[in-house]
Amino acid sequence: MTDLLNTGKSALFAFQRALSTTSHNIANVNTDGYSRQRVEFQAMPGDPQSSNSPGSGVRISNIERISDQFASARVSSATSAHAEQEVQYTLASRLDNLVATEGMSIAPALNNFFNSIQDANADPSSIATREVVLENTNQLAERFQSMQAQLDDTQTEVNNRTREAVIQVDQYAQSIADLNGRIVATSSGQNTQQAHDLRDQREQLVNKLSEYMDVDTLIQDSGAMSVFVGKGLSLVTENEAQSMSTVRDSLYPDRVQVQMGEGAGAQLLTAQVQGGIIGGLNEFSSETLSHAKHDLGRLALVIADEMNQQHALGVDLDGDPGGDLFGSADPEIFADTNNSGTGVIQARISDTEALEASDYVLRFDGANFTATRSVDGETTTTSLPLRLDGISLSVSGTPVAGDVFVVSATGRAAGSMSALLNSSDNLALSGQLATTSSINNLGDSQVSPATITDSQDIGLATPVDIVFTSENTYDILDPNSGAVLVGGASYLEDSPIALNGWEVSISGDARAGDTHRIEPNLSGRGDNSNGLSLVQMQTALTINGTESFSDAYGSLISRIGSNTSLAATRSNALEALRDNAVARQQATQGVSLDEEAIDLTRYQQAYQASAQIISTSENMFQSILGAIR
């Protein structure tokens, strides 16, 4: 009789626990990260002293948490990859809109600038058209400054978002460590179901953590989870978590670095962190944003230098040589805050056409400097002074081995571009040399405006006459002394004639005695030869010898647009992969209401049957008592 009661009691307790577990599953059907639980029954053996003992009932041997470690890892990995591309797409698309929008783009301002010079060439003495040129010069410089400011603001946003992300990572790591301690404590007792719920919470935190960076996990024998980031660096071990923070980059004052740990044991992780929001922010900053800054800066420097050089070859309304149209700053030099020497790097731009859109990292080994071009990793090892890609470098003071410097000629150059002309009278549209064809010429030959090929030639200001001695030959004479400077030269129509740092050409049919003069332009009025040369700069291949100003800006827009499109495609594909991974995980560990309803009915019936066992044993006991009476 006692065996029957014990069997019924054990069944009641077992199915009560099964009903409780099923109810727990149903209650958490919409709980994010919840893994369904299942009871495992085990028969209880009978009395070992009795050969005919049928057993003593049933007990719950385990409450299993249904989970798939590999599916969970796939969800974490897919979440990290999608978050990385999503943040890159968000920022790149904004940058794409910025550089292509007419109100902010350089292209319209550049076109307006050259169009205004073209208009001024139609009447080079007109003050009104000259004022328009000055206005468009100012607007072009301001457009570069505004674009640089927007790019700098974007870098600031990247820094702030990185700081916020690192704060979240630190909080998640601390929470995982706390849950590790609670899981270890509950797993050792009878609180199996509670431990399972804590494991769900921990797994959910790992998924949230993976939104910010790639993580690897390992379950220890104790039940604690170890979390690793980067190249195997431990973020969480047992119930301890390394602190995460951001610090200012020691080389680039406008950037931040991710740091793990504190004090002497701190480690910089930025170069190791991949995936997630932090990885995406770092990738966007170092690739898309940085390249845009350098491309824009190089364009600003080349425009300023090329236009200044050409403008200097002309004369203004006062007959003075043209001054600079645009101003720009020298390269920026950043010294690593950890440098221990007194070395100071000086840099100036010596050839804008040779500039690369890149920073250079200089490392001193005690004897020589190794310059690494950031854009492609190409290195040059030598002593200073050095001329590198159009930048002249020198050093003063005493650097020591291990000192590091960054030379940035193009990174923020666009922000330093400024318009320097204050008066329209100073616009040098006229050439330094005037060319005229004598009205007494018998032929219809005409001389072209003079192009200055060497502004330093000592004979540049010397007047000369080109006098035809026949239809096919000419002499070059000094008009003051009549001395022959070049005699018996052959005439080929439109072929260049060069002397004293200038070059002209003559077109048309010549006759003996036809005379053409080249002489200094003293008035600066009524001539647009230098203005025409300024306009020609719009299509000249001045960027690395392969692109014009407009081509270079078009390439910048195209590169950003390509990065945006690529990030969008990757983001959509990775979103689908993430959703697929989540669906696969939920198919394994998610709660099915249909299945739980069946289990609930089955366990309820078993519970009622178990109660009937106890009721039957009570009736039997009462029958025995009645018989004894």
pLDDT at 50 over 70: no
- 510-531 as b/e, with b when 16 or more CB fall inside 10 Å? beeebbbbbbebeebeebbbbb
Spell out the SS3 assignment of 276-305: HHHHHHHHHHHHHHHHHHHHHHHHHHHHHH
Average pLDDT, whole number, for the chain? 89
Question: What pLDDT does residue 431 have?
Answer: 84
Mean pLDDT of all residues in 185-195: 71
Mean pLDDT of all residues in 289-294: 94
| pTM listed for this prediction | 0.83
Question: What pLDDT does residue 409 have?
Answer: 92
Mean pLDDT of all residues in 121-135: 91
Q: What is the pLDDT of residues 410-469, one digit of tens each?
A: 999 999 999 999 998 899 998 888 888 999 999 999 998 888 888 888 888 889 999 999
Mean pLDDT of all residues in 491-502: 91
> Using an 8 Å Cβ cutoff, are 437 and 284 in contact?
no
Question: What pLDDT does residue 192 have?
Answer: 66
pLDDT at 190 over 60: no
Q: What is the pLDDT of residues 375-384, one digit of tens each?
A: 888 999 998 8
More confidently predicted of 361 and 317: 361
Q: What is the pLDDT of residues 244-258, one digit of tens each?
A: 999 998 888 889 999
Is the link from the previous residue into 496 a cis peptide, with omega within 30 of 0?
A: no
Using CA atoms in the order 5, 7, 13, 16, what is the torsion angle rounded to 10 degrees? -110
pLDDT at 181 over 60: yes
Highest mean pLDDT out of 187-191, 238-242, 300-304:
300-304
CA-based nearest residue to 14, from 602, 607, 601, 596: 607
Q: How far is CA 440 from CA 113, 433, 448, 506, 512, in A?
A: 40, 21, 18, 16, 12
pLDDT band at 571 (very low <50, low <70, confident <90, very high): very high
pLDDT at 524 over 70: no
More confidently predicted of 191 and 409: 409
C-alpha 466/C-alpha 452 separation (Å) is 17
CA-based nearest residue to 209, from 175, 158, 245: 175
**For residue 516, what is the DSSP state?**
E
Q: What percent of the chain has pLDDT over 90?
A: 58
Q: Out of 14-28, 100-114, 471-485, 610-624, which region has the weakest mean confidence (pLDDT)?
A: 610-624
